[in-house]
Amino acid sequence: MKKHMKAKSFLTATLFLSVSYLCQAQVPEGGDSFGGAYQTSKNWNPPRDQKALEKLHQFQNLKFGIMYNWGLQTQFGTVDQSWSLCPEQYEWNKRPAPYENADWATYKKVYENLQKTFNPLKFDPERDAKIIATSGAKYVLVDSKHHDGFCFFDTKTTDYKITSQSCPFSANKNANVVKVMLEAARKNKLWAGIYFSKADWNTPYYWAPQFGPATTRSENYKREEHPEVWDKFQQFTANQLQELTTDYGNIDMLWLDGGQVSGSSINLAEIARSARERQPGLLVVDRCNGGGYEDYLTPEGVHEMPAHYLADAWEACASLGDHGWAWAKTSKNMSSETVIHLLVKAVARNGNLVIGIGPDAQGALDPEVVKILNEIGMWLKVNGEAIYNTRPIKPYESGNLFFTTNQDGTVYAISIHSKADSLISNKVRIPSTLVAMNSQISLVGFKGEKLHYTPVDGDMIEITLPSKINLKAIPAVSFKISKRGDK
């Protein structure tokens, strides 16, 4: 009974904290800060749907996920997702050679013709889902459609899809990528989520040809002047989302991108209501647009990740490669050490972390990416108890130390360091407030061996690590602080 009451109290406290704070920076409709990255929006509210609220708590236990990004543009090998198609030209969305100086209409035709040569015969959903599960990730977000409008699912709304006869891969048994990836994810005990861009640069109801060339990422006409065109776009979007939440099994998260299209402008309230009839508890993430359907915040990129504890529900999203969210041969990847450090920080600050990866044009994951994911998984296999199913505990962090706790009151102090550090001390100091009189401290993953500690400086204790621990080989170590006699 006591354990049940503690668990209930832990859930109540977590949900209370989730509704009691506001986010920091507001991004206007268009949803962009530097480089197209989303900041945390303010005035966040938890889901009004009770089952979704319960699911949000479960989601916050998962901590680590993978976003599975793909696109026709991988055939170029040098551009990020579909951003090179956007008429707005920046340093970060350059077109590939030899199309740098081509006019927009010419490049759009070249880009859309990539459908006719896309044949990723090395794509293996079972392999990729297993790699993702081995990384220690607990959920996956599968890219169903980016801004270019190319669909990785068998939609009835357009022929601009991977299952079209215009695409040579359409005859492959794995052509319905969203379907087979989600099935493989569930088989590997991963939560199944769908990424979907509300913007669509292919449909004639968004960049409508009768109004001339597009000049921005937004629609090329005024909605109030042409409501009949926008109504068609609304219905087009609603139909696609209905397909995705009807025909693809149990869906845990619907992650909506394309902030220039607000949820209210496509009647997301009705879309979500209908989807939750089919998918009870579905989390709907309408990024930075609020309106009651931004069920958790999605700060984008390392530079937008919260720098301190934030009581709202949030998930930092970052691409593994530095060239964008999908695969590019020019990308340099973050190391497993960097990802682990980001994960530890996110968890101690009350967030999740999702990392973006994706196959190349042949359908294969880069071997270096697989190696990095395996290294993350090995660390989580040892230290996962300090990460999964935890919540932050004051003072949350101190220097390179980050603090979490679980439902039974066990406290964890996670010490991060870089292998490149010239000197790594085998002594660690943590606040004495985290250590009760009858506590014992052990190193997670080392057979519960008790560690000696002594009071120092009045409000700190100093722990000495065994000399046999090679810190150079470990990006972070986790200390378990439990009552004497507890395991």
Q: What is the mean pLDDT of the chain?
A: 89
**Does residue 340 share a domain with residue 440?**
no
Cα distances (angstroms) measured from residue 258 to each of 116, 188, 192, 351: 26, 29, 21, 22
What local confidence, expressed as pLDDT, does residue 423 receive? 57
Q: Of 292 and 392, which is predicted with more confidence?
A: 392
Query: How many domains are there within the chain?
Result: 2
Residue where one domain finishes, among candidates 336, 355, 386? 386
**Does residue 398 share a domain with residue 381?**
no
Max mean pLDDT among 36-40, 422-426, 463-467 falls in 463-467
**Does residue 398 share a domain with residue 370?**
no
Whether 173 shows a pLDDT value over 70: the answer reads: yes
Residue where one domain finishes, among candidates 386, 405, 425? 386
Q: Mind listing the pLDDT tens digit for each residue in 250-262?
A: 999 999 999 899 9
Domain that holds residue 401: 391-483
**Does residue 362 share a domain with residue 426?**
no
Is 12 domain-assigned? Answer: no
**Does residue 441 share a domain with residue 319?**
no
What local confidence, expressed as pLDDT, does residue 1 receive? 41
Is 42 domain-assigned? Answer: yes
Alpha-carbon gap, residue 341 to 421, rounded angstroms:
14
Q: Mind listing the pLDDT tens digit for each residue in 410-440?
A: 999 999 988 777 556 788 999 999 987 678 9
**Does residue 452 share a domain with residue 360?**
no
Is 1 domain-assigned? Answer: no
Judged by average pLDDT, the poorest of 1-5, 157-161, 213-217, 346-350 is 1-5
Is 8 domain-assigned? Answer: no
**Does residue 440 share a domain with residue 327?**
no
Is 3 domain-assigned? Answer: no
Is 313 domain-assigned? Answer: yes
**Does residue 115 share a domain with residue 180?**
yes
Residue where one domain finishes, among candidates 362, 386, 410? 386
Q: Of 324 and 40, which is predicted with more confidence?
A: 324
Is 14 domain-assigned? Answer: no
**Does residue 138 share a domain with residue 227?**
yes
φ, ψ of residue 111 in degrees (nearest 5)? -60, -50
| Angle 284-208-175 from CA coordinates, rounded to 5° | 55
Domain with 463 in it: what CATH number?
2.60.40.1180
Whether 14 shows a pLDDT value over 50: the answer reads: no
**Does residue 316 share a domain with residue 254?**
yes
Is 6 domain-assigned? Answer: no
**Does residue 319 share a domain with residue 201?**
yes
Cα distances (angstroms) measured from residue 171 to each of 193, 240, 359: 25, 22, 19
Residue for token pair 């340099």: 332
Q: Mind listing the pLDDT tens digit for each residue in 286-308?
A: 987 777 899 999 999 998 999 99
Q: Mind listing the pLDDT tens digit for each residue in 351-389?
A: 999 999 999 999 999 999 999 999 999 999 999 999 999
Whether 283 shows a pLDDT value over 80: the answer reads: yes
Domain with 64 in it: what CATH number?
3.20.20.80
**Does residue 141 share a domain with residue 230?**
yes
